[in-house]
Structure 1
Amino acid sequence: MLKINKTINLSATSEIEGQPVVYMNASISTDGNTNANINKNVTNKELYDANKEAVREDMKQFETEVYKVEDSLNTKERRGR
């Protein structure tokens, strides 16, 4: 039996002075049964260490956006029941 899973993917890059510092991506299942899978990869440790506060704020904003999508899917699923 074929079972197709749909996901929503989000990605972002935290940049300092035009240089990528952290790459972030998230996968969210559209069935609403699982939480988002969020990954972060530091691509420039030197800039990350020198700008932790700004980069961490970007990571926090990314997570907030992921949770908004996740919550909207959960709300839609509850309405569909």
Structure 2
Amino acid sequence: MTFDTLGKAALHQMLLTATCRRCGRQAKFVAEDLARVYGSSRNPHTLPFKCTTCDAKDCEVRLMGLPFDRKPDTIIWRPTKGRR
């Protein structure tokens, strides 16, 4: 199944991982949280991620199931809309 909207990904309790193509830094978000901020009809691959390490805006977005055996040191970020 393809998840072309945040609403579909949230319905299936997906985790979104944004990986910077320049430096490799990763950030993980719960799709439901992103759907609240950006709207449930938004395509997850068009979200405006920006790397906090190298300031690049070129990020690869992947969706995966929310792992039940998540490691305690895994950080899941909460989305916020900042100034542009």
User: Could you say which TM-score interval applies, normalised by the shorter chain?
Assistant: under 0.3
In the superposition, the TM-score normalised over structure 2's length comes to 0.27
- Which of 1 and 2 has greater Rg? 1
Structure with the greater relative contact order (CA < 8 A, sep ≥ 6): 1 or 2? 2
In the superposition, the TM-score normalised over structure 1's length comes to 0.28
